[in-house]
Amino acid sequence: MNMKIEERTELMRKIKDEVVALKKSPLYGYRRESGNLPVIGEGNHSAKIMFIGEAPGRNEAKYGRPFCGAAGKILDQLLESIGIDRKEVYVTNIVKDRPPQNRDPNPEEIKIYGPFLDRQIKIIQPKIIVTLGRYAMNYIMPKFGLEFEVEPISVNHGKVFTVPSQALVEWGWKDHEIKVIPLYHPAVAVYNSHTLDQLKKDFEVLKNI
């Protein structure tokens, strides 16, 4: 299904409006009292590559932009290292509001915000989904018929998984090929040079496909 860019932008705007008004979310009250913003996502609405993290951190919730803090700097450097302009890709998270104290998102939050991410994937129809960290990997792989391939991120990082055609049919896509590439979360690389080296190598995989 080929959507015009205006249609994609309108559908994204609708998602934003719904998330802004998402009073049933356990993170809504915290967003309001701390003056935070929801972080919907950013980039090209018809991107070939979509990056999915877990939830906004402090900077992201302050500015309403994904990956604009320390982890974002690393993501920018990694993209630059393989000659991809961040404006060409789409970057988002599973959970659209910041959890307090940067704690990991919990299952209830993932359940509430996950459907917005699913809609974003349907709008963008990427060819490559790059998951950043284990939360995004654990969410995306089963959604794309790769549940039996889920392993710890230390095993799956940098591997290229082709989405089986049956899963594509379930997403309503014919004649569309999607690859899922799990990577370590760039936030880990802020303090761990081994993870940073590994991320650099894994980005080469991305470059090659």
Name the residue nearer to ligand URA (CB basis): 187 or 206.
187
Residue choice 49, 55, 78, 130 for contact with ligand URA (CB under 6 A): 55
- Binding to ligand URA by CB under 6 A, coded x per residue (else -) over 187-206, reads x-------------------
Name the residue nearer to ligand URA (CB basis): 105 or 145.
105
| Nearest distance from C-beta of residue 59 to ligand URA, angstroms | 8
- How many Å apart are CA 1 and CA 123, to the nearest integer? 10
Residue with the CB atom nearest ligand URA in the bound state: 53
Q: Which residues of 151-181 are buried (b: 16+ CB within 10 A; e: fewer)?
A: eebeebbbeebebeeebbeebebeeeebbbb
> What count of other Cβ atoms lies within 10 Å of the Cβ of residue 77?
15
Q: Is residue 27 close enough to count as binding ligand URA by CB under 6 A?
A: no
Query: Residue 151 — φ and ψ, nearest 5°?
Result: -140, 170
- How many Å apart are CA 184 and CA 174, to the nearest integer? 30
- Binding to ligand URA by CB under 6 A, coded x per residue (else -) over 90-109, reads ---x----------------
| Nearest distance from C-beta of residue 206 to ligand URA, angstroms | 18
Angle at alpha carbon of residue 68, lines to 15 and 146, rounded to 5°: 60
Name the residue nearer to ligand URA (CB basis): 145 or 203.
203
Residues forming the site for ligand URA (CB under 6 A): 53-57, 60, 66-67, 71, 93, 187
